[in-house]
Amino acid sequence: MVDLQEIETNLFQTDELRRILLFEGTFPSQDYYDLTPVLSAIRLEGSFMEPEELSKLKLSLNSILEIQSFFTNRPPEKYPCLLSLSKEIAVDRHIPGIIGKIIDDKSEIRDDASPELRKIRKERSVKQAAVEKKIAQSFKLASKSGWTPDDTGLTIRNGRLVIPLLATHKRKISGLIHDESATGQTVYLEPAEIVEMNNEIKELDFAERREIIRILIEFADRLRPFIDDLIRSYHILGRFDFTRAKARVSIEMNALLPLIRIAVPHIHWKKAIHPLLFISHSLQKKTVVPLDISLTPSQRILIISGPNAGGKSVCLKTVGLVQYIYQCGLLPPADPTSEFGIFRKIFIDIGDEQSLENDLSTYSSKLLNLKYFIEHLDENSLFLIDELGTGTDPSLGGPIAEASLEKMHRLNAFGVVTTHYSNLKLLAGRFTGIENGAMLYDSKKLQPLFILKTGLPGSSFAFEIARQIGFPDDVLRNASEKTGNTQLDFDKQIQDIEQEKAELVKKSTEVKVADEFLLEMIKKYQKLYDTLNNKKEEIITNAKDEASRILKESNKMVEKTIKEIRESQAEKNKTLTARKELKEFKENLEQSAAGSQQLTNSPDHQITRSPIHQITNSPDHQFTSSPPPKSPYQSYLNELQTKLENFQLTLDLRGKRAEESLSILQHYIDDAILLNLTEVRILHGKGNGILRQITRDYLRSIKEIKKYQDAPLEQGGAGITVINFK
């Protein structure tokens, strides 16, 4: 497929059915029969379907209706693409029931398919029983008289029950001989008294068949107006069958829906894998090294070099197969953040196509392919060529390959080629849009890494590989002298530098990430510090007001106590009661004062003593105060750091009650605001929409929230609310 909308429709349908297979487990998957040829055949008046075909029609129509019900019984936003496809199904739901009244589970016509058929079968059953009774009596007489062979019984010849008789006694019973044994010693006779009865049974068989055909024709006549709708529905069943197959293989390949899809030639893949290699390795408990690769208008052609058995050809085949998978509407085995474009033509030259019949050598077949490519390539094409230029003298094959690649570059085509030729590696420095890529090799461990690194050419490591497999040292020394150490050292240095560069880039990235994290943390702490400073005056003012209030209440209580003591003229019981009340009042004040102390963080803010201590110095009125609490600032920062590290950007509320969900949501939003986050997600599912409504109602009341909305369709749709903070 080359139309983006058509590709996306197939991708969305495959992804939805993949999720159904993984999480639903109840999707109809049986009786996917194709009845379109049979339905087309009964367009002719007087034609009909056989009982076995009726049985398949009933089962498959039930599957079609179950598929339709599967989607209509679920929220429309859950599987929108497959729901849209299922809506095209047009099947009269009464048809399976009508078929069920005609045939039974064994695909046989029911006795009660019509009153006439019931009558015919009942009459035939009675006559058949009478025939069996009479012939049993005749056989018993013949057997008792010794006219039958030993150890024999009633048998059937030409569809009728007959008695086996010794040929010498065949005149003893009047009747019709149907057959004889190979030796001629036994004949098979139908007694005359049941011949007519069997003839009547045969006539009833014909009547039964005529009635069955009439019933089937009547049903075909009833079905005929719906044939076009039924055929379309079977095409949709085929579409579901195909999509289900694509979904199953996507699960097997661990393939996902790519989030970025564009309508022009483009490849920017992350962690792409060869699907067949992945499946094979998975069975062997082995891993596959993923491929990162880009082909863009600014870098259209990639020349991959490197050692033999280093993964060049696998890389090339991965590009071709993954792109082809994508344009066939299957989910590609790559990271979902990969970017996929569309190529209108894909040209492939992989392997050896030499032919004895056509007198083609390896090189001749490759030249013919190159010729065809050059004649048909354009800016919407992708070409994949393995070992470009091989098969002939390198001094001649190299220049032809170079000139061909230059021509394909001028045609603005996109492509990937593998090679060992040095002259092709140099093209990247001469032409914009051509880039080198190297399959990395560990020169210390002498083993390929199967990692593609773009930017620099790779070395073939011919001598290292030969030495690893035990090639004779004297031959390698002689070859080294012929080649010269300069070339060998150059290749090795390129590879070593590339590995060191990769390590430096990795470390640089780690340092950059750490710096960005620390900078963000400093900003958050600075914001928190500024907030606390802004609250400082307010806290002090509130504390002073509270202290003043406590002081006034204390003075009133002391004055009241002194007055009561004086009025009672120091009566002992009255004095004790007054002092008890004063003591209780003191304890309440101390608790209030301790609460106020915890609101401040510096000595300037702390209320270290209860105001009641200023009332009197007498032993009866002296109260002890609690020591000032330790400043919680450092512990608060530690708690904030822990909260930031453990905070999840997605809150899952599924399965929780409404009250519980609201409480959890409130704490979660408070923490997100405290940590100064920009975006979080609430996973509430779709279901009946209760949790979604509760979530939305609460979010409306939070002024720090900038906006909230459903997640994109491919990321959960209405089942997830995305929140952005101011």
Q: Answer whether residue 678 shows pLDDT above 90.
A: no
> Are residue 285 and residue 412 in the same domain, yes or no?
yes
Final residue belonging to a domain, choices 573, 604, 633: 633
CATH number at residue 709: 3.30.1370.110
> Are residue 317 and residue 441 in the same domain, yes or no?
yes
> Are residue 473 and residue 590 in the same domain, yes or no?
no
> Are residue 380 and residue 474 in the same domain, yes or no?
yes
> Are residue 349 and residue 478 in the same domain, yes or no?
yes
Q: Answer whether residue 642 shows pLDDT above 80.
A: no
Confidence at residue 607, expressed as pLDDT on a 0 to 100 scale: 35
Q: For residue 51, is it within any domain?
A: yes
> Are residue 286 and residue 393 in the same domain, yes or no?
yes
Name the range with the highest mean pLDDT among 139-143, 367-371, 373-377, 452-456: 373-377
Question: How large is the average pLDDT for residues 633-644?
Answer: 62
Q: Answer whether residue 70 shows pLDDT above 80.
A: yes
Give the confidence band of 609 by pLDDT, cuts at 50, 70, 90.
very low
Q: For residue 501, is it within any domain?
A: no
The burial class, CB within 10 Å (0-12 / 13-18 / 19+), for 448 is buried
Cα–Cα distance measured from residue 588 to residue 590, given in angstroms and rounded to the nearest whole number: 5
What are the distances in angstroms from CA 323 to CA 265, 270, 333, 334? 11, 13, 10, 11
Tens digit of each residue's pLDDT (9 = 90 or more) over 394-443: 677 788 888 999 999 999 999 999 988 778 888 887 888 899 888 887 76
Q: For residue 212, is it within any domain?
A: no
Confidence at residue 373, expressed as pLDDT on a 0 to 100 scale: 93
Cα–Cα distance measured from residue 415 to residue 407, given in angstroms and rounded to the nearest whole number: 12
Q: For residue 500, is it within any domain?
A: no
Centre a 10 Å sphere on the Cβ of residue 494 and count the other Cβ atoms it contains: 15
Q: For residue 642, is it within any domain?
A: no
Q: Answer whether residue 115 shows pLDDT above 70.
A: yes
- Long-range pairs for 398-406 at CB < 8 Å and ≥24 separation? 398/423, 398/424, 399/423, 400/367, 402/427, 404/370, 404/373, 404/374, 405/301, 405/303, 405/434, 406/431
> Are residue 628 and residue 659 in the same domain, yes or no?
no
Q: For residue 639, is it within any domain?
A: no
Give the confidence band of 78 by pLDDT, cuts at 50, 70, 90.
very high
Q: For residue 638, is it within any domain?
A: no
Q: Answer whether residue 630 shows pLDDT above 50.
A: no
What secondary structure, in 3-state letters, does 517-543 show? HHHHHHHHHHHHHHHHHHHHHHHHHHH
Q: For residue 462, is it within any domain?
A: yes
What is the extent of the structural domain holding 560?
A: 508-633
Run of H or E residues at 430 = none
Q: Answer whether residue 356 shows pLDDT above 60.
A: no
Confidence at residue 614, expressed as pLDDT on a 0 to 100 scale: 38
Domain count, the chain: 5
Give the confidence band of 483 by pLDDT, cuts at 50, 70, 90.
low
Final residue belonging to a domain, choices 633, 655, 690: 633
CATH number at residue 77: 1.10.1420.10
Check if the beta carbon of residue 564 is closer than 8 Å to that of residue 578: yes
Q: Which two tokens stand for residue 88?
A: 């095209």
Q: Answer whether residue 112 shows pLDDT above 50.
A: yes
Tens digit of each residue's pLDDT (9 = 90 or more) over 132-163: 888 888 888 888 888 888 878 888 888 888 88
CATH number at residue 432: 3.40.50.300
Tens digit of each residue's pLDDT (9 = 90 or more) over 569-588: 545 565 666 666 666 766 66
> Are residue 651 and residue 626 in the same domain, yes or no?
no
> Are residue 720 and residue 599 in the same domain, yes or no?
no
> Are residue 425 and residue 367 in the same domain, yes or no?
yes
Question: In degrees rounded to 5, what are phi and psi of residue 15?
Answer: -65, -40
Cα–Cα distance measured from residue 246 to residue 326, given in angstroms and rounded to the nearest whole number: 11
Q: Which two tokens stand for residue 100?
A: 């069920």
Q: Answer whether residue 327 shows pLDDT above 70.
A: yes
> Are residue 246 and residue 269 in the same domain, yes or no?
no
Confidence at residue 49, expressed as pLDDT on a 0 to 100 scale: 95
Centre a 10 Å sphere on the Cβ of residue 76 and count the other Cβ atoms it contains: 12
> Are residue 20 and residue 163 in the same domain, yes or no?
no
Q: Which of 168-172, 216-220, 567-571, 720-724 has the lowest mean pLDDT?
A: 567-571
Q: Answer whether residue 600 shows pLDDT above 50.
A: no
Cα–Cα distance measured from residue 194 to residue 176, given in angstroms and rounded to the nearest whole number: 10
Q: Which of 302-306, 686-690, 699-703 has the lowest mean pLDDT?
A: 686-690
DSSP string covering 229-292: HHHHHHHHHHHHHHHHHHHHHHHHHT----SEE-SSS-EEEEEE--HHHHHHHHHTT-----EE
Tens digit of each residue's pLDDT (9 = 90 or more) over 269-278: 999 999 999 9
Higher confidence at residue 554 or residue 89? 89
The letter for the amino acid at 301 is I
Q: Answer whether residue 604 shows pLDDT above 50.
A: no
Confidence at residue 438, expressed as pLDDT on a 0 to 100 scale: 83
What are the distances in angstroms from CA 223 to CA 46, 121, 311, 385, 717? 12, 26, 59, 55, 41
Tens digit of each residue's pLDDT (9 = 90 or more) over 694-721: 888 889 888 889 999 988 887 888 889 9
- The overall average pLDDT reported for the chain is 82
Question: How large is the average pLDDT for residues 643-665?
Answer: 84
Helix %, strand %, coil % for the chain, to 5? 55, 15, 30
The burial class, CB within 10 Å (0-12 / 13-18 / 19+), for 162 is buried
Percentage above 90 pLDDT, the chain: 40
Q: Which of 97-111, 461-475, 489-503, 657-671 has the lowest mean pLDDT?
A: 489-503
Q: Which of 9-23, 392-406, 591-605 has the lowest mean pLDDT?
A: 591-605
Interacting residues of 238 by C-beta distance below 8 A, sequence separation 6+: 32, 34
Question: How large is the average pLDDT for residues 108-116?
Answer: 95
Confidence at residue 179, expressed as pLDDT on a 0 to 100 scale: 86
The burial class, CB within 10 Å (0-12 / 13-18 / 19+), for 57 is buried
Question: How large is the average pLDDT for residues 110-121?
Answer: 95
User: What is residue 166's three-state secondary structure?
Assistant: strand
Give the confidence band of 632 by pLDDT, cuts at 50, 70, 90.
very low
Q: Which of 457-471, 482-496, 646-660, 674-688 has the lowest mean pLDDT?
A: 482-496
